[in-house]
Each structure stands twice: as C-alpha cells, then as structure tokens.
Copies of this chain bind each other. A is one copy, B any other.
Amino acid sequence: MKKDIGVGLLGLGVVGCGVAEVLATKADSLAEQAGLPLVLKKVLVRDVNKRRSVGISPNLLTTHSEEILAHPDVDIVIELIGGEHPAREYIEQAISNGRHVVTANKEVIAKHGYELLSLSRKYNTDLRYEASVGSGIPLISSFQQDLAANKISSIRAILNGTTNYILSRMSQEGLDFASTLKQAQKLGYAEADPTNDIEGIDASYKLVILSNLAFRAKFVPQDVYCEGIANIAARDFLYAREFGYAIKLLAIAKRDDDKVEMRVHPAFIPRDSQLAEVNDVYNAVEVETDLAGKLVFYGEGAGALRASSAVIGDVLAIARNIYRGANNVPDLKLDRRATVKPMSELKTRYYLRLNAPDRPGVLAQISKVLGDNSISISSVIQKESDPAAQTAIIVIMTYPAEEEGMQKALKQLRQLTVVNEVSNFIRVET
C-alpha cells in the first residue's frame, strides 16, 4: 500500500515556486482530496545556492535531472522549465520511465503534443497540460471532456496577457507602443525579451493546443498565420473608436467545412462585444458549438498562483486515479480530414491607414487600386493634414474582401507615388 504520492518538480522559477508553496501550505487539504499526501521528493534547479522566494529544504534541490526522472518514489513529474529544450526531452524520459507528467509548457505541447500523448499511451501514463493555456481557466478539460459531444465551429480568444495589458494601456491612456511596453516590463507584465508575446507566438502555441482538441485534428504552430502588435500606433485606437471598435490581439480558429482558418493578429472588434471588454492581463476564450451554443471562459491568464491552480488541479486528478487504481491514459481521437485554410482565402473587412501627399486626386488613385482588386470602400476619413509637410492621413474601412486581393492592393498602394506610406493595415472581426 502506498503511503504517499511522490511529486518531482522540474524548475523552480516563478511558477515552480508558486507550485512548491501551494503544495506546502495546502498539504492537508490536498491530501484529503487526493486520498494520500502529495509529497515533494526532489526539485531540479540550475543553481542550488540561489536565493528563492519559497522556503524549501536544500536537501530537495538537485541539478541532475535523472535524480527526478528516475527517482523510485516520484509518481508525478511536474515540468515547469518552459521552452522547447530540454523540457521536451525531460518529459519524454519521464513518460518512458512510467511517470505521469503535468506540464505548463505551451511550446512543447503545441509542437510535440501529439507525439508525447502517443508516448503516454504507450507507457500507460497520464500527461496533463491544463496550465498551458489560460492558466487557471478550465479550458483543456472542458474541451476534452465537457464539449466532447459538440462540433466546434470556432474559437476566438484573447490568450496572451502581456499584449492584452499593453493594448489596454495604449487604448486607455493614448500612449505609444514602445513606452507602454517599457512600463509593462517595469511592472513585470512583460519579460525582458518580450518577442514571444509581442509577436503573437505565445498566443499561436495556445491556439494550436485548443484547436487540436476542438477540431480533433493535428495542427502545428506553423499552421498559424501570426502577426504581432508592435505596429499598432496610438492613433489607430482613435480611429478604431470612431468606427465603433476596440483593438485586440485575437487568436482565431474557424472551421469552414473541412478547412480551418488559424490566425493570430491584431484585430478591430466591435466595442460592445464581450472580447472587446476583456482588459489588462485577463484572457477570454469564446467558443461556438453546435450543441452548447456560444460559451465564454474568462479569467486571468498569467501569474504563479493562477498557473498553480491548473498544475495542482492536474496533479490532484492524477493522484486520485493512482489512489483508486484507475488508469487514465490520454485519448487521441483525431479527425484528420481538417486542413488549414490558406490565409489568402480569408474574407473579412479591413482597416487601412495611409500617409499621402495632401493634394487633389490622391483618393481617386487609392480607390482605383482597391477597386481593381475587387475591394469596396465602406468609409473614408481624411484626417490631420500637416500643412508644413503637405501630407494627410487617410483612413479607410473596406467591405468584406478577400485577403489575396487585399495583399495585392497593399503592394500596389505602396508603389503609388501618391502614397507616402501604408502606415497600418488591420483586419476586422465582427
């Protein structure tokens, strides 16, 4: 008879410290729920002497991964190192050693989830990753289990807290991108190297993970068209507001027969829509289904405690199974027919901001280029002429048009002598 459930922790960063602390402070209540105490057996760190925010016995720390991955008393390995390597290899090794794995690693799951889940099936172990998307918001299990009877037609989501914080501040305070990013870094809402967040890569990993479950197909990060927020200017928010929109970095996956659109980019979204009202570090996922209708999941998508909620929820689920001798190997039911719809086939409305010489005939030439590419203009605002430079800002909203034509038009607009600059180009979600 087992006396406890042994837990091994890989990584003692922000989330790792959070998890270690919750395991310690909630030990009694967790033991009650799991049936057996959850005992931290060993923690992998890079430097055993580093000072940490969590009080943890130095005897538990190790710099040798195999002391955890092959530890005889470790039943569950929690991977919180992040990044692709060596996290992926550690997870593989843990599974191959018959250990159950809980991870918060969106990159590894988005890139190698299918292979890792197959490995888990082979070794009769469980692999859980609730914390990889939306932190403490119950998404993975809802998609896997509760929505199992549904055909999901679309996911539209705000999945990255950093960019949503930056866009919220820019919108509310009229600040530019660079200074808002700096402020976010100072407050700990953006990392020193913010590339993955700012360029939408983080959101695209999360979209892949949700899409694999929603469409029961195998998608990879390369399937996602990905555009970041660095090009958004303070004045784009002004024009957006004038047209009745907010600007959000949206992660969108939409099924259209057997094709699925997969894209992450800044988007205009009606100001009175639910996603428009998701601010700061909050995340939200809107799902359209055939049976359950429209569902929205909302909560904070980042932070050590938020992630701990999901990580320890997963650990408890595995621990309960161990306690009652049940075996939960991952399901891998894929509907392989789904393929990615090329971005060129996207049909939507577009917002265009151009800088042009302030003289007659300019708009005629711009309109002609758009018209030649079957793009109809819905509204035009000409703004803020600069008499000194003799330039004007022209803002255009189009009717729904095909991305392919739009991209051709953009190319041609950039070559027009009456266009100084195509300053921005943002898709509209309605």
Contact = CB atoms under 8 A, between A and B. Distances in A.
Contacts of A331: 33, 320
A136 B152 CA distance: 13
A320 B326 CA distance: 12
B305 A294 contact: no
As for how many copies of this chain the complex holds, the number is: 2
A333 interface: yes
Interface stretch (A307-315, A411-419, A420-428): A307-315
A305 B290 contact: yes
A142 interface: yes
A32 interface: yes
Q: Give the one of A136, A289, A305, A312 with max B CB within 10 A.
A: A136
Contacts of A324: 327, 329
Interface in A230-274: 274
A373 interface: no
A157 interface: no
Given A150-B309, A309-B150, A136 B292 contact: yes
A291 B151 CA distance: 32
Interface in A268-302: 274, 277, 289-300
Contact of A136 (B26, B295, B296): B295
Interface residues of A, number: 54
A291 B306 contact: yes
A328 interface: yes
Interface in A147-188: 147-151
Contact of A298 (B22, B130, B141, B298): B298
Given A292-B299, A296-B299, A326-B328, A316 B149 contact: yes
Nearest to A320: B331
A138 interface: yes
Contacts of A136: 146, 150, 289, 291-293, 295
A140 B336 CA distance: 31
A317 interface: yes
A289 B289 CA distance: 28
A150 to B, nearest CB: 6
A interface: dominant SS: mixed
A292 B282 CA distance: 12
Contacts of A198: none
A146 B146 CA distance: 12
A135 interface: yes
Contacts of A130: 146
A30 interface: yes
A229 interface: no
A94 interface: no
Contact of A295 (B137, B148, B316, B329): B137
A59 interface: no
Contacts of A312: 148-149, 291
Interface in A29-73: 29-30, 32-33
A136 B331 CA distance: 22
A313 B22 CA distance: 31
A145 interface: yes
A149 B293 contact: no
Contacts of A308: 149, 291
B149 A313 contact: yes
Contacts of A142: 138, 141-142, 146
Contact of A293 (B33, B145, B277, B300): B300
A150 B130 CA distance: 15
B33 A316 contact: no
Nearest to A143: B138
Given A32-B333, A326-B326, A294 B289 contact: no
28 contacts: A22-B291, A32-B333, A135-B292, A136-B289, A136-B293, A137-B295, A138-B141, A138-B145, A138-B295, A146-B309, A146-B310, A146-B313, A149-B309, A274-B298, A291-B308, A291-B309, A292-B300, A292-B305, A293-B299, A293-B300, A293-B303, A294-B299, A295-B297, A320-B331, A324-B327, A326-B326, A326-B327, A326-B328
